[in-house]
Amino acid sequence: MRSESKTELVNRVLNELRVAVVAILFLAAIEVSAQNVVDKTVATVSDGIRTELITYSDLRWHLAVKNGVPLSPPRSEDLNLALTELIDLRIFALEAERIPRPTPSKEEIDAEIKRILDRFPTSAEFIRRLQTVGFESITDENFQRMMRKRVAIEKFIDFRFRSFIVNTSQEETRYYNDVWAPNFRIKYPGVDVPPLEKARQVVDKLLTDSKVVSIIEAFLDDSKRRIEIVILKPV
């Protein structure tokens, strides 16, 4: 067998390199394509300084903690509701960065996970849903990160919108007469309505909750006039 000339050797090596490069690019293209399908960016929320991303995985993760919502495949109406809710949460996240707060503790995160678990018939059902969307278990770092962010936002909401609310006795009396007592009669027909003094704690909490909802709605309406929200992919 004759030996290769220098020219033939160089050409053979170059051909082998071309084949190797093509193979690498092909595999990379497959990987990128798979990532785009699984975790494509659906929307962005920006205040002009910081930008929060919402990915398709974020939507599925959000749905996973809702009992009874189909995941395989998710329904378009559920994905769109999740997108709306996550846009609001991203707005809160952007606002929360302006007011630094302590990082949620492990106890707070565990309490949030337990609160979600209590919505499901069994913990096994909840774990199955987490695994359906790619989490290994409740100890999965991505799941823990999602819970940490949820708790941080909830603490911000309590601080920003709830902690400064004060209900006057006149407001409590009005809410008791106009809302709480009528609802009690509908829910418990034939049962005597407790007097305001015995129901004051419950009335005060419900009145505060109603004020928080109104304040948050106004805050989000105002924020959406200032913040840029871009929907990149329909769901």
Look at residue 129 and tell me if it is in a domain.
Answer: yes
Q: Assess contact for 140 and 126: CB atoms under 8 A.
A: no
- Tell me whether residue 48 is in a domain: yes
pLDDT tens-digit map of 45-71: 999 999 999 999 999 999 999 999 999
Q: Which two tokens stand for residue 191?
A: 């049962």
Question: How high is the mean pLDDT of the chain?
Answer: 86
Cα gap 194→128, rounded to integer Å: 44
Count of the separate structural domains present in the chain = 2
Look at residue 13 and tell me if it is in a domain: yes
**C-beta of residue 194 within 8 angstroms of C-beta of residue 168:** no
Residues 21 and 67 in one domain: no
**Pair (136, 29) in one structural domain:** no
- Judged by phi (left if over 0) then psi (alpha if -120 to 50, else beta), residue 134 lies in left
Query: 116 in a domain, yes or no?
Result: yes
Is residue 22 a part of any domain in this protein? yes
**Do 118 and 158 share a domain, yes or no?**
yes
Looking at the structure, do residues 88 and 22 belong to the same domain, yes or no?
no
Ranking 19-28, 109-118, 127-136 by mean pLDDT, the lowest is: 19-28
Flag whether 33 is in a domain.
yes
Residue 20 lies in a domain: yes
* pLDDT > 80? residue 3: no
Both 52 and 2 in a single domain?
A: no
Looking at the fold, whether 105 and 34 belong to one and the same domain comes out as no
Identify the domain containing residue 69 by its residue range: 43-165+215-231
Note the pLDDT tens digit of each residue in 142-176.
999 999 999 999 999 999 999 899 999 999 999 99
Same domain, 2 and 29: yes
